[in-house]
Structure formats: structure tokens, C-alpha cells
Amino acid sequence: MANVRRIAYDIIYRVLCEDAYSAIALNNSIKENQLSSLDSGFLSALVYGVLERKLTLEYIIRQYSSIRIRKIEQKTLIILYLGMYQLLYMDKVPDSAAVNESVKLSKQLGLSKSAGFVNAVLRSFIRAEKAYDMPDISDRVKYLSVVYSCPEDIVSVWHERFGDELCEKMLGGIIGRPPLTVRVNTLKTSTDDLIRSLSERGITAERISFLPDALNLSGTGSLEALPEFDDGLFYVEDAASQLCAEMFGAEQGEVVCDVCAAPGGKSFYSAIRMNNRGEVNSYDLHEHKLRLIDYGAERLGINIIKTSVRNAAKRDSILSECDRVLCDVPCSGLGILRRKPEIRYKKDTNIDILAELQYSILCVGADSLPNGGVLMYSTCTLNDSENIDIINRFLSEHSEFIPEPLSLPQGINHVIDEPDCCLTLVPGMYDTDGFFMCKLRKAGRHD
């Protein structure tokens, strides 16, 4: 029988100490250990729960530990995270099991000296009826940081940019698992037919009001085991990314370029929107990622996507002339913290280097557009230096480009003051990832 807590420990250690990606490490562990759906659910809850609540857990552990947090060995601290998380957030786990299994885990890992310490901290917490203090609410940044387990530097930036109320809503939006959002492949089926087919398998499919052919699925089990997936009737893509591809607006018969295409969702969306007529050029730095796009296109029955290795930031790789260019650039990822909770704890974000890379990609992408061509810039982050600052700089240095107002679907509104060519989506508002998009047009021909 699989020791799920030990597996959770191994994953969390690799994520926090060896820079592993939580989703990849989790999925690999589930397959390697051949876990049941019940054990997989418990494992996912432990891993993502601890990573999401790490700062909150530390703050509470500090109140019951005789040793300062920074003096506690990392392995022991992870065991405490796991035990404390179960005591605080998992009502179905008996307190005795949370403590005893944590002590047992300490011994299994050769941390016999730590076992007594782990036992003492967790039992002290139980004896105190799980009481704990939070920072004074008057210190908003510190308070929000601890309550929502998000570092103060991120909270401070969001608090200043978005204001207190929206900032707290955003922080609430990065806690918990995101919905499983898919795009219906209307080349092969209709939304109604897919909903009906999935319903017959006991899968709930809920429409997304602002995206007619997008669904949130629940109760799927393994997606790859579904005939509807294998037959290419849908693919997975968050609603924010889908909305960006919709605003990009690729039309039947056009030639479009997706210069940072992996994992391919926006290329697939564009090809389907074009009714599989025209040309979608999907580029990426890495050949193995392009193979995944090729596989996805084949599964979906799309034959207008052409993939090629290309460095989007290099001026010696200018694109052939096309109607639209999409630059969904590498970014700091602050909009996807609920998908990759470990991102929030990374110290070396390289924001300055990223901003220069993002700007280069945008400039090189712009070079291939004729008059009237559309240029779309997007990120999955919520940082002005990677978003609106890039756009303002680009427009100041490229007078031939003008803002193109976005025609937003009913139900989607600007939540901050921004130009109508831009849209910032924040966590906690529309149940999407955090996202930024901006649409520009090269002056000349008009639609």
C-alpha cells in the first residue's frame, strides 16, 4: 500500500529544495506509484495545500515551536508543514492520525531526533484547541501576506497597483485548485453534443458565459482515458488564454504567427476559429515542445498549423509577412499562482531580464506585419513592468502602430483603469488565471 504522506513529502521537498515543478512532480508520482483515484486526491490536496499555505503554516508553527523557523532543518520543517496542514485544513483526517503519521514519517526519513520535536509542536497546537494569532490587521501588507500565504513583496506590488479591496480578492483567488477548462473543437462537434456525451459518462460540463464554446469540467477522472479526448473533441486551455485568442481575432484564410506557441492552445484556438482554412505558423525555441503541438493538432484534426524552431527575440529570424502576430511572451507567472503555487516563493525572478526579452520579442514580431496587420501582446502575469510598461515603451518607439480597442464579450469588464486596447484579468474575478493582453494595429489599411 502506497505511503501517500511520504510521497507528498518527497514532492514538496523536490519543489522547495530542488526547483521541481509541482504539477509535473505530482503527475509523475501518481503514475509511478499507480495510485488510486482516492489516494491521488489525498496526495494532490496535501501537496498543493502545503505549497499554497506555506507562509501561513510557518507563522502558526512559529507560535508553538521552541526553535526559530530558520533553525529548523528543512526536512523536519516539511514534516511540520504536512502535519499542521492536516490539523488545520483537513477535517476528515483525525488529529491523532495527523500527529502519529508525522512522527512516523520523521522516523522513516531517519530523523529520529526530530520525531519528538514534531510530536511536541503538533500536540501543543491540539492542546491549545488549535488557537493561533494573525498579524495585526492594521498592517495590511503583512496581514494579507500571512492570511493568504503570499510573500510581502508580491502583496505590496498588488496592493499599490490594485487597491486594498481588489488586492484581497486577488489573493483569495490564488488559493484552491483552478477549474478544468476546455475548448470545444467545433471542427468535429458542437458544444451541446459534447456536453451531452460527457454527461452520459457522469461528467459535469458547465458553460462559461463569456466564451460560447468553453466548458468547465468536473468528475472527469483521467482525461486521456476519455474517448472524447482521444477523438479530439476538445483540448484543455484556461478561459483567460482562450479569451486572448478570441481577442486576437484570426479569420478564415489569413496567415497568422504564434511566436511563443507552446503548449499550443492559442494556435489551436486560432486554427479552429479559422475553420481550418488559412495558415497558422507556430514557433518555439524547443523542438520537443513543438512535437507536442504537432500531436495536439493531429488529434484535433487541424492541418493548417505549421511548427518550426525559432528564437522569437532574434532579429535574424524575421517572420515572413503575415496578417497577425501573437506574442504570448515568457513572464514571471504571477497570474498562475493557483496552478503553480511554488512560483510565489522564488526569490530570483529576473524581472529586468524578462522585460528586455519581452520587449525584444514584441519588436521582432512587429517587423513582419504589413500596414493594417494586427499585433497581440500577452502575459500570464500581473506586473506593470512586464505589461503596460512594455506597451507604452513600444508605442513611444514605434509610431506606425496604434492601439486597437478590444471588443469585450458581455460580462467581462475592465477592473482597473487601463487603455481600451488592453485587458487585465485578475484571479478571483472571473475564475480565470491572471492575464494581460493588448491589441495593436500597424497604421494603414483598416478593416
Closest by CA to 185, choosing from 343, 31, 297, 25, is 297
pLDDT (tens digit per residue) in 41-68: 999 999 999 999 999 999 999 999 999 9
Percentage, residues of the chain above pLDDT 90: 90
One of 380, 421, 422, 438 is an active-site residue; which one?
380
Closest by CA to 435, choosing from 332, 357, 343, is 332
Q: What is the DSSP letter of 321?
A: P
- Whether 220 has a pLDDT exceeding 70, the answer reads yes
Name the CATH code of domain 4-127 (choices 1.20.200.10, 3.40.50.2300, 1.10.10.10, 1.10.940.10).
1.10.940.10
Quickly state the pLDDT bin for 349 (edges 50, 70, 90): low
pLDDT (tens digit per residue) in 385-412: 999 999 999 999 999 999 999 999 999 9
Concerning whether 380 is annotated as a catalytic residue, the answer is yes
Extents of the domains making up the chain = 4-127, 140-173, 239-442
Please tell me the predicted confidence (pLDDT) of residue 444: 57
Over the chain, what is the mean pLDDT?
A: 94
* Protein fold of 239-442: Rossmann fold (3.40.50)
Q: Are 12 and 51 in contact (CB under 8 A)?
A: yes
Lowest model confidence (mean pLDDT) among 135-144, 172-181, 215-224, 277-286: 215-224
Q: What is the DSSP letter of 439?
A: E
Q: Which residues are bridge partners to 182 per DSSP?
A: 215, 236
